A and B are shown apart, each in its own frame.
Chain A
Amino acid sequence: MALASTKFKDLDFFNQSLESGYKLLPFNFIKLDDSRYVITNIAGEYLVITKEDLYAVANKQLCPGSPVYNTLKSKHFIYDDDSSVALELLALKYRTKMAPLANFTGLHLFVTTLRCDHSCPYCQVSRQSEDKAAFDMTPEIADKAIDFTFQSPSNEIKIEFQGGESLLNFEMVKYVVEEATKRNQTENRDLQFVIATNLSPLTDGMLDFCLKYDILISTSLDGPEELHNGNRPRPGKDSYEKVMTGMQKVRELLGPDKLGALMTTTKDSLTQAKPIIDEYVEQGFSSIFLRPLSPYGFAIKTKSFDAYQTEEWLKFYKEGLDYIIELNKQGLYFIEDYTALILNKMLTPFGTTYVDLQSPSGMAISAIVFNYDGDIYASDESRMLAEMGEKRFRLGNLLQDTYEGVMLSDALLGPLEATITESMPMCNDCGFQNYCGSDPVYHYATQGDIIGNKAFSGFCKKNMTIMRHLIKLLEDDPEARDVLLSWVRV
């Protein structure tokens, strides 16, 4: 000890309070591989430790002041008599994670028409019809939908036009944009419009309108020409060509930042991860969302079929992610969106509003859907399910129901209450609970039950596998780690 004088006390003095032992803070764990576990605290911070250490922690066998001890203390898995501020910090972190919930319903989907010029086999909702009266949204419904939208407490309001092909009823898009903008002069919300479109009906006049109102365009691009056209049949078999021309126009007139694209994953996509990603890279996008196969529209909805589909998709995802990480190492900044979402949940103090990774379910909280006929749904998937005859997730109708009535309806509150991960079997003590969510519509579609048995659930299998995979990359592959960390946005 080389402290100058007896006025100073040495470290041992300040370690005395460790001698009375430590206490556990709430945490969950899950096996990572044969020798390691992932442990996650109540605020979603994770640590990878050996099985021996995990059991040692719980059995109070850790040596005070050792590196493992300090790491667990620093990351709020244990605390001791020396410091209890961990409780306050955890409370604050927990609250921060939950904050997006309080800010709810930012995204409002307006289905302007069900008519579409495409006849995609996986699409449950669109109609090949000239009958505008039957499948278009009317101004009366639109007015009610706008009213409903502005009743959301959220400061950020995003209105997204969906179809069918939303632009086939451009008059209604125009009407809603103009009315909502007018309305916003007194509301002063952060208002943003997005048009989801396959771009085939796009005209210069529409683009001028988009420019004027600063509207974002979200289109569909499934991959290379053959795959895209195969997925999206239309008279003339030229869906890909139409998208290309449309995207070029959007970039020229609105700028590349105003253009986004989403891919739908079909069985044919599963063998083409690289070509799909290359297509996105070539088109100048800086990210892709490798979306799961949707369970809707597949005739067979057995548990084993779900499991099989999930396996196939996971192969596709991993291959895609590997390739994207390679691209990043070569110097291209390119993100896989689902991965980035999960990483953000793992590595930042913030929550997300992404509907599938929410607990309770993001139904109606992340997004709410106004169908052309005034029916209100909790998510786009619920609307699809309804078109297939299952109206369980229909929350009401704009013509009959009030905002309060809908937001407090049993159709919404029931599933919300049932789908808090903290209370669902298997999820309740799962080490990934903080990063995961619940997808009542998916589980209803595949298992006939909004909670579902997670042992059979493709949703669970998908998330568990991805999360294990990502944590292993973060722990074991420094180069991949650098890439993944660069996707985290604070």
Chain B
Amino acid sequence: MTKESTTPLVKNDDGSLIILFPKSVYSLDAVKKASYKFTDSCSFLINEQNTAYEVLCKPTADIPSKALDELVNSFCNEVLDQDLRERIASETHAVRSLILAQAFSKTSLLEG
């Protein structure tokens, strides 16, 4: 990819897709993790542009276009979900450490 694409979703003739995720909204991690989950049906190439992450997604088998649309839909939703997961994880990171520290501290219910 030499020039930056601007349309959020481009379908190429060879069946591959280009999807753009604005950096202001999505984190790279969310995009990567969502991609990972779809590695059973697509291969992925992720590029960083100035304002967006560009995901080149190539289905590993021929898929009818309707199924492809569904795939893209659930992929995009998955990126959103991943983003939410990250937010939850970062917000709860400290309290999680606190809970685990307490879980493994000495005072247990079993000790007298």
Report if A and B associate in a common complex. yes
- A residues with CB within 8 A of B: 23-29, 31, 42, 54-55, 58, 87-88, 90-92, 94-96, 98, 303, 307, 425-426, 429, 453, 455-456
User: Do A95 and B81 form a contact, CB below 8 Å, given A23-B95, A87-B102, A455-B36?
Assistant: no
- Find chain B residues with CB under 8 A from A426 CB: 33, 36-37
Q: Is B98 an interface residue (CB 8 A)?
A: yes
- Say whether chain B's binding surface is mostly helix, strand, loop, or mixed: helix
Closest to A30 in B: B81
- Within 8 Å of chain A (Cβ to Cβ): is B1? no
A95 in contact with B92 given A307-B40, A429-B33, A455-B40 (CB within 8 Å):
no
Q: How far is the CA of A27 from the CA of B89 in the complex (A)?
A: 8
User: In the complex, which residue of chain A has the Cβ closest to the Cβ of B96?
Assistant: A26
- Tell whether A425 pairs with B36 under 8 Å between CB atoms, given A42-B96, A91-B99, A91-B103: yes
Q: Which residues of B contact A307 (CB under 8 A)?
A: 40
Interchain CA distance A463-B92 in the complex, whole Å: 27
Structural contact, B98 and A58, CB atoms closer than 8 A: no
Residues in B lying within 8 Å of A, measured CB to CB: 33, 36-40, 81-82, 84-85, 87-89, 91-92, 95-96, 98-100, 102-104, 108-109
Residues of A within 8 A of B96 (CB): 26, 42
Asked if A26 and B37 make an inter-chain contact with CB atoms under 8 angstroms apart, the answer reads no
Q: A87-B95, A426-B37, A455-B39 are in contact. Are A95 and B103 (CB under 8 A)?
A: yes
Please measure, in the bound complex, the distance between the C-alpha atom of A54 and the C-alpha atom of B99, giving whole angstroms: 23
A91 to chain B, nearest CB (A): 4
Known: A90-B99, A453-B40. 11 other contacts (CB 8 A): A24-B92, A29-B85, A87-B99, A88-B102, A91-B100, A92-B103, A92-B109, A94-B103, A425-B33, A426-B33, A456-B39
Residues of chain A with a CB closer than 8 A to B36's CB:
425-426, 453, 455
**Which residues on A sit within 8 Å (CB–CB) of B104?**
95
- A25 to chain B: which residues have CB within 8 Å? 92, 95, 99
A429–B33 alpha-carbon span in the complex (Å)? 10
The residue from A31, A92, A96 contacting B81, defined by CB atoms under 8 A apart = A31
B37 and chain A: residue at smallest CB distance: A455
Closest 6 CB pairs of A and B: A91-B102, A26-B92, A91-B103, A26-B96, A455-B40, A94-B103
Taken together as a complex, chains A and B put the C-alpha atoms of A429 and B103 apart, in Å, by 20
A425 to B96, CA, bound (A): 19
- A455 cross-chain contacts in B, Cβ below 8 A: 36-40
Give Cα A92 to B103, complex, Å.
Answer: 6
Among residues of A, the one whose C-beta sits closest to the C-beta of B91 is A24
Residues of A within 8 Å of B33, CB to CB, are: 425-426, 429
